[in-house]
Chains A and B, each alone.
Chain A
Amino acid sequence: MMKNDFKNSAENSEDIAIQGEDTTKKRKIVVPGEVIASGEDYLPSDGTRREGKDVIASRFGLAEESGRVIKVISITGAFVPRRNNVVIGRVTNVTFNGWVVDIDAAANGFLPLDESPRFISKNDMAQFLAIGDVISAKIWSINNRGIDLSLNGKGLGKLEGGFIFRVSPNRVPRVIGREGSMINLIKDKTGCNISVGQNGWVWIKGNDIDSQIRARKAIEFVTDKVHVEGLTDKMEAWFTEN
């Protein structure tokens, strides 16, 4: 069905913010209420607020100063869904007009019937996607009813074979790497199809059990430490040793 597209599905997630190992930005760990910088010139962005002259952290995370813009990137915690995020989820229910999908967020995802890639009658719905099946989907809209999903995009659709596991959603940019460099390295070294959801769920399918286990181990190694320098070199070394 969509097997050939899976290899590239990770690239879709690059559209969303990549935090690579850019050392030209100033960064430090801050706690809620901490003053990050003082001055009228600064522009408080995500996770910060202004109080008088001060730009103050409004959550625990990595404060990043980029030019005049200051934001706090979350390094812990649950997945916060955003429009256009590619997520990996598990079907939990088949209703009359679509599928309810658990995307490990504070609301369920919903895949409407007309999002399926070919015509599916209401009777055949479970034939296409049954409870327990896994999909890679894009968040199309977030509203009061929930999170609407779409399969319209390269590499999206039902995932078959392999397995899925979870990493902390905050580590996803690190797993993907700048312009996909890390995930491509892992794919090359293990020969596996890998799809990384912004919600922290990762799908791996390899030619054999060993390469699947190895690919998972590699990803878990990448996500292990909170703060790592020179990760790409460390990974090259890891692959020689493992």
Chain B
Amino acid sequence: MSSMDTSNLTIETLKQMFAVGRRFDGRSIEDFRDLKVSLDVSNKAEGSARVLLGKTEVIVGVKLQIGAPYPDSPNKGNLMVSGDMLPLASPRFENGPPGFVAIELPRLVDRAIRESKVIDLEKLNVVPGEKVWTVIVDIYPLNDDGNLIDAATIGALVALKNTNLPGLDKDNKIDYDIKSKDKLPLSKEVQNPVSVSFFKLGDSIIVDPTREEEEACEVRVTWGISKWNKQYMINSCQKSGKTPFTQAEIEKMMVLLPKKYDELNEKLKKFL
């Protein structure tokens, strides 16, 4: 499969198409592709999910560990989001030290989940001040056809919502062979964080690009959004790339964002 960079003439054609709201696969520039989600990717994970967004495929697994809390939060559990851009997923990814994409993606997913406070870290105490649960979310793309970030955040959300705490033996040590029925404690006030990334080419802003579209775009901004006490709340944001966004463009995104949130949540209902 090709790692050929996007050509000038293709960029120009995509610019013209987006300007009149057209895309090769027939979607509008605001539509997400078909979304398919499944659970139980690995029986060794405490929770896991597979997300298929168009042809983009990402798997996410959640592992729980027990350890000492951080000194500045002695009664709170910990969250860590990690992952790897497996070279398997794209001709552009290589083995070796992580490139920027590999560094940024897990951090974006982390902030969307963490800032929403969907995980009730205070309920992750095992022995107050001494032992807490650490929740580790690992993200692995299996096929990159664009918009890995949004697919990964969805995967993380679904995996977390379907995570069971492992059993503890009498010394409060984890025994992975004991399957507990206790689900990961989630906040009752926070509902379902997801991320929505907007990409810009020329004067057009599109959502959920294929890899071809993504590589033609000049800049991206990713928003983490959830609901807090039934109110839409933006929890995180990061613009990635040189090209600026205008104020009008940002305001337009603010109108679109809650709609996209509702759309994604509707599609994910049966897994959450």
**A-to-B contact residues, CB < 8 Å:** 89-90, 92, 102, 104, 130, 132-134, 159-166, 200-201, 209, 212-213, 216-217
B9 touching A159, Cβ below 8 Å: yes
A-B contact pairs, 30 of them (CB 8 A): A89-B4, A90-B4, A90-B7, A92-B5, A102-B5, A104-B2, A104-B4, A132-B5, A132-B6, A132-B8, A132-B11, A133-B7, A133-B8, A161-B9, A162-B9, A163-B7, A163-B13, A164-B9, A164-B10, A165-B10, A165-B24, A165-B212, A166-B2, A200-B2, A201-B4, A209-B16, A209-B22, A212-B13, A213-B17, A213-B26
A209 touching B2, Cβ below 8 Å: no
User: Which B residues are in CB contact (< 8 Å) with A133?
Assistant: 7-9
Complex Cα spacing A159 to B11, Å: 14
**0/1 string, B14-44, CB within 8 A of A gives 1:** 1011001010101000000000000000000
User: Which B residues are in CB contact (< 8 Å) with A212?
Assistant: 13
User: Which A residues are in CB contact (< 8 Å) with B8?
Assistant: 130, 132-134
Complex Cα spacing A201 to B13, Å: 16
B4 touching A102, Cβ below 8 Å: yes
Shortest distance in angstroms between A129's beta carbon and chain B's nearest beta carbon?
11
Complex Cα spacing A166 to B6, Å: 11
**B-to-A contact residues, CB < 8 Å:** 2, 4-14, 16-17, 20, 22, 24, 26, 212
Complex Cα spacing A229 to B187, Å: 57
User: Which A residues are in CB contact (< 8 Å) with B7?
Assistant: 90, 132-134, 163-164
Complex Cα spacing A210 to B5, Å: 25
> Which A residue's beta carbon lies closest to that of B5?
A90
Complex Cα spacing A160 to B13, Å: 11
User: Which A residues are in CB contact (< 8 Å) with B12?
Assistant: 161
> Which A residue's beta carbon lies closest to that of B10?
A163
User: Which B residues are in CB contact (< 8 Å) with A163?
Assistant: 7, 9-10, 13-14
Complex Cα spacing A212 to B9, Å: 13
A134 touching B22, Cβ below 8 Å: no
B4 touching A209, Cβ below 8 Å: no
**If A102-B5, A132-B5, A165-B212 touch, does A213 touch B10 (CB 8 Å cutoff)?**
no
A209 touching B20, Cβ below 8 Å: yes
Complex Cα spacing A166 to B7, Å: 12
User: Which A residues are in CB contact (< 8 Å) with B17?
Assistant: 209, 213
